[in-house]
Structure 1
Amino acid sequence: MASKFRIFTKRFLLLINIGFAVLFLIACLAPYMDPQKWWMISLSGLAFPFLLLPLLLFLIWWLFFKRKYALVSVIALALGWKSISVFMGFHFGSSFNEKKEPGSIRIVTWNVARFIEMKRNNNKGSQTRLKMMDQLREQQADVLCLQEFFHSGNPEWYANLDYISKELNYPYYVFSHDNDGDNHYTGTVIFSRYPMVDSGMLRFPRPTLPEALVHADLRVGKRIVRVYSTHLQSLQFKKSDYEKIDRIKEAQDGMVNNSRTIFSKLRTGVRYRSIQADMVRQVMDDSPYPVLFCGDLNDIPNSYTYFTIRRDMQDAFLRKGSGIGRTFSALSPTLRIDYILADKNFSIRQFKRYVRDYSDHYMLVADISLNKQ
């Protein structure tokens, strides 16, 4: 009787293992399937980390109790290796030298969430804004790429363009913005200490956030480098949506209705980002100069958005970072959605992620050097 129970248990666990393997491989298809047609597969990519873990656990389990069954996980992991390789950084123990080496370009990307407080006062939000400015100052970076950047021409509100340009010493900048009314502006900005010889902006099709793809051509020594920055379509979750997610997690009443709203926003977001990603890639392919890309893609590495924009570019986190590299502080600990990418004209020297709860995103810093022509 005990023998039959063991056989049944092993076969039952094997079926579960196979089920996880199939779902894992479907999630691994997300980067290669156009979300316009295959949005369900694109959304399945969000489950990638939560499918990877059971496969690893089953692999360890079978190695002890039935080695031949471990092949199920081994085959699935081998087929999904490309997705695994962009999910984690393996440079454990590497330190970040705060003093920038000669010949390197220090670049920062950060979704600053409008610096938390937009109106001049002395509340907690304004104190956080000052801490964020101090964090930017500490880096002594050559280039700042900031998304969800806020600036106002109204003296009762913060003039962040003027503050960073003068107080942090960034004389050159390009700012994409929409007029929000009352002389307030929100968008993506590139600040530079290198001379800016040209700049440009590409608007994404509506409906989307008041954002665009901006670029700045910077004179670095005798060469020109093109820096791109953008903020792609977000999920536009409101406080009520986060409350719905909490209710879903806690299996409370109304799960179906709550899930319907969340999935609708997920589907809309992934579709618009696919259009934007195609546009970004096409524009970068036309660049006559070496390319650096910094931005908030609002999408994970195992996605059509990331694979399309990155293509054969170097991901600074994967080159020099470690772990999962979470950059968004809400929803899930697996969300790496902010990136620094460099084409093959550059070498990545070092990378750092600042895990400080100022914005809802973490600041990323990388030191990059131009290769010889």
Structure 2
Amino acid sequence: MLAIFCLYVSPETFWPAAFIALTLPGALLLNILFLLIWVFNRSFKAILPLLVIVFSWNYYERGFAINLSPNNELLDVEPQMLQVLSYNVRIFNTYAHLQDENQQSSKKMIKWVASHPADIFCLQEFYNETRSPVYNTTSKIGKQHQKRFYIAETLVNGVGAQFGLAIFSKFPIVGKGIIRFREKTNNLAMFIDVKLEKDTVRVYNFHFQSMSIEEKDIVDTYQDQDKLTVGGRKLLRQFKRGVVKRADQVNLLLEHAAASPYPVILCGDTNDLPYSYTYQRLKSEHTNAFQAKGWGIGATYNGKLPFVRIDNQFCDDRWEVLNYSLHDTIPYSDHFPITATFKLVNK
């Protein structure tokens, strides 16, 4: 109960609440363990963890979705339907330490995105270098496939390459904008308004504050006792900084979305787990596509840390989620791409 309560406490007000909330998965698993033990012992106490499961099912679903008939295939496009791809492309591996021989992972990732049949692409950590034969991504993904695009830049380097967020659309873009977060950061959100026959809808693409924590630092901290104290303090400081910034960023994004005159879909990299204030704020006002149509744990992080789902798609109540897919066989980035199909149900 304490962990659930802490989901609703903004880290800007009391940041340790974010740490307490992260214990919720453990508490939920322990509850199942008690249920099994008491059922095995034929104890009437089994009714207690059973009641917990019933009344907190929404929190179980955040970590493990169970949909009896999940539809993981892309559907044939019909009027009022929108198929959306969300993918943190890690600047298409353009940095030297990310590149492999002959830039194969970069080329394959760009080709995979460009050839995907979704109507809308929401790409985080986007990179475009117009003069490069490999990284001319606006041309390879957009122009060559008759897709309109909009880039929200966080940086333009010395050769004119663009870093930031991007949205590509097969439908006409009739409005667009950027949401700059209050504190100085390279993270931001953006949106486009697209025309679906007689209706206009709004799609947001966001990338919230990273922890700036290296995976290696986490592994070293719990594997090396000598590094536990020093490393643990460093991780805690970075954790605090991240959760506080994301709390402000998600509130700013939802404030903007609430003022939208059109039905909204929100896609992006939350850099936060489903057991967090960030996720709770998004989920409290919107439907999560994974919970609605996904199956299993749905981990979207492609790394050594298991069970990490930080990439999400949400929609307001004017949409119905028809399907959801995690593309965990696409290994090119440190994130897996996700897709979902939405249908307008209430104009």
TM-score, with length taken from structure 2? 0.91
Shift, 1:63, TM fit: 1.7
Question: Is residue 55 of structure 1 aligned with residue 31 of structure 2?
Answer: yes
**Root mean square deviation of aligned Cα:** 2.4
| Separation of aligned partners in 2, 1:100 and 1:177 | 35
Q: Which residue of 2 aligns with 1:8?
A: none
Q: Which residue of 2 aligns with 1:291?
A: 264
With over 3 angstroms needed to count, the CA separation of the structure-2 counterparts of 1:224 and 1:28, relative to structure 1, is: same
With over 3 angstroms needed to count, the CA separation of the structure-2 counterparts of 1:69 and 1:247, relative to structure 1, is: farther
Q: Which residue of 1 aligns with 2:108?
A: 131
8 Å contact kept, 1:176–1:214: no
1:148 pairs, out of 99, 120, 125, with 125
| Separation of aligned partners in 1, 2:9 and 2:124 | 28
Give the counterpart letter for 2:314 in structure 1: L
Shift, 1:54, TM fit: 2.3
Shift, 1:77, TM fit: 4.1
- The within-5 A match list for 1:100-179 is 100-103=76-79, 104-117=81-94, 123-124=100-101, 126-155=103-132, 158-179=135-156
1:187 pairs, out of 132, 148, 164, with 164
| Separation of aligned partners in 1, 2:110 and 2:9 | 40
8 Å contact kept, 2:138–2:149: no
Q: Which residue of 2 aligns with 1:362?
A: 336
8 Å contact kept, 1:30–1:41: yes
Q: Which residue of 1 aligns with 2:233?
A: 260
Give the counterpart letter for 1:256 in structure 2: T
Question: Is residue 217 of structure 1 aligned with residue 217 of structure 2?
Answer: no
- The within-5 A match list for 1:320-331 is 320-331=293-304
Shift, 1:125, TM fit: 7.2
8 Å contact kept, 2:75–2:341: no
| Separation of aligned partners in 1, 2:5 and 2:243 | 15
The higher radius of gyration belongs to 1
Q: Which residue of 1 aligns with 2:11?
A: 35
Shift, 1:318, TM fit: 1.1
Q: Which moved more, 1:301-310 or 1:246-255?
A: 246-255
8 Å contact kept, 1:350–1:367: yes
With over 3 angstroms needed to count, the CA separation of the structure-2 counterparts of 1:115 and 1:225, relative to structure 1, is: same
8 Å contact kept, 1:280–1:309: no
Shift, 1:250, TM fit: 2.0
| Separation of aligned partners in 1, 2:95 and 2:138 | 12
Question: Is residue 44 of structure 1 aligned with residue 15 of structure 2?
Answer: no
8 Å contact kept, 1:176–1:201: no
8 Å contact kept, 1:215–1:229: yes
Aligned length: 344
2:203 pairs, out of 201, 207, 227, with 227
Q: Which residue of 2 aligns with 1:247?
A: 220
8 Å contact kept, 1:92–1:321: no
Shift, 1:88, TM fit: 2.4
Give the counterpart letter for 1:334 in structure 2: F
Shift, 1:245, TM fit: 1.8
- Spell out, residue by residue over 1:172-213, the C-alpha distance to the aligned partner (whole angstroms, 9 max, x if none): 3343332244423211111111000110111112232x2321
| Separation of aligned partners in 1, 2:123 and 2:294 | 21
TM-score, with length taken from structure 1? 0.85
Q: Which residue of 2 aligns with 1:20?
A: none
Q: Which moved more, 1:125-134 or 1:356-365?
A: 125-134
With over 3 angstroms needed to count, the CA separation of the structure-2 counterparts of 1:331 and 1:207, relative to structure 1, is: farther
| Separation of aligned partners in 2, 1:189 and 1:297 | 16
1:279 pairs, out of 243, 252, 272, with 252
With over 3 angstroms needed to count, the CA separation of the structure-2 counterparts of 1:122 and 1:305, relative to structure 1, is: closer
With over 3 angstroms needed to count, the CA separation of the structure-2 counterparts of 1:90 and 1:283, relative to structure 1, is: same
8 Å contact kept, 2:74–2:323: no
- Spell out, residue by residue over 1:93-115, the C-alpha distance to the aligned partner (whole angstroms, 9 max, x if none): 53433452423211110111111
Tell me which protein shows more helix as a share of its residues. 1
SS of the equivalent of 2:22 reads: helix
Give the counterpart letter for 1:53 in structure 2: L
With over 3 angstroms needed to count, the CA separation of the structure-2 counterparts of 1:98 and 1:83, relative to structure 1, is: closer
With over 3 angstroms needed to count, the CA separation of the structure-2 counterparts of 1:218 and 1:193, relative to structure 1, is: same
SS of the equivalent of 2:335 reads: coil
The list of structure 1 runs, each at least 4 consecutive aligned residues, that deviate by more than 6 angstroms after superposition, is none
